[in-house]
Amino acid sequence: MSEAFRSLSEAFRSISEAFRSLSLLKRILAVVVLLVVAYVLIRLITGVLFGLFFLALVLLVVVLVGVAVLWSSGTLKPP
């Protein structure tokens, strides 16, 4: 009986170690998933910020061209 109990105890111990290593793998997987999500969010945020910056520059150029056209049409009118 003692031998059967000892072998059963060994089996439970090996199963416990397997679950412990599985838990470590789950934690590593969770960290990797968090790092990937953080990377994607940083890329999205920087993309949006650069997109807004580019949009502001385009609008500034359009406004400056419009002002230049109005100024030149007023300046170049024949007397």
DSSP single-letter state for residue 76 = S
pLDDT tens column, 28-47:
888 899 999 999 999 999 99
Sequence-ordered alpha helix ranges (H) in the chain? 2-75
Q: What is the pTM of this model?
A: 0.54
List Cβ neighbours of 50 (8 Å cut-off, separation of 6 or more). none
Report the C-alpha gap between 39 and 31 in whole angstroms. 12
pLDDT (0 to 100) of residue 79: 64
Report the C-alpha gap between 48 and 41 in whole angstroms. 10
Start-to-end CA span in the chain (Å): 119
